Amino acid sequence: MAVTVRPPDIEAEISYLPTAKGGRRAPAVSGYRPTHDFGLGGTLNDAAHEYIDCEAVAPGETARANMWFLAPEYQERRLFPGFKFTVQEGSRIVGHGVVAKVINEALRYEV
């Protein structure tokens, strides 16, 4: 049986907080799946990260990542380059992200 892998939903630039400012203690590695707040009032969206040009991102560092949403339907027609979001572990913010590219056309906000 063939396995189909769907393309990422977005590409984003993610900046992790330093540990001293509440960030992670260990680096985030490709495959990391935190929650994200995209401003939907009480709804967090899980997404898997695959870092571009590196395997891991240490606290206090910034990297680009491809992201796959577990429930992309929550972001339909909402995202655009420059859209800001938070990266969270539970209710704790561990980083901030900015959408660089919307790859999944169903998620693209159009005026």
Q: What is the pLDDT, as a whole number, of residue 74?
A: 94
pTM: 0.93
Residue 1: pLDDT band by 50, 70, 90 thresholds?
low
Strands annotated E in the chain: 10-16, 28-29, 35-37, 45-51, 56-57, 62-69, 84-89, 92-102
What is the distance between the terminal CA atoms of the chain, rounded to a whole angstrom? 41
> Which fold does the domain 10-107 belong to in CATH?
Elongation Factor Tu (Ef-tu); domain 3 (2.40.30)
Provide the residue ranges of all domains of the chain, joining segments of one domain with +: 10-107
Residue 30: pLDDT band by 50, 70, 90 thresholds?
very high
Q: What is the pLDDT, as a whole number, of residue 107?
A: 98
Q: What is the pLDDT, as a whole number, of residue 3?
A: 63
Tens digit of pLDDT for each residue in 33-86?
999 999 998 899 999 999 999 999 999 999 999 999 999 999 999 999 999 999
With a CB cutoff of 8 Å and minimum separation 6, the contacts of 71 are: 45, 46
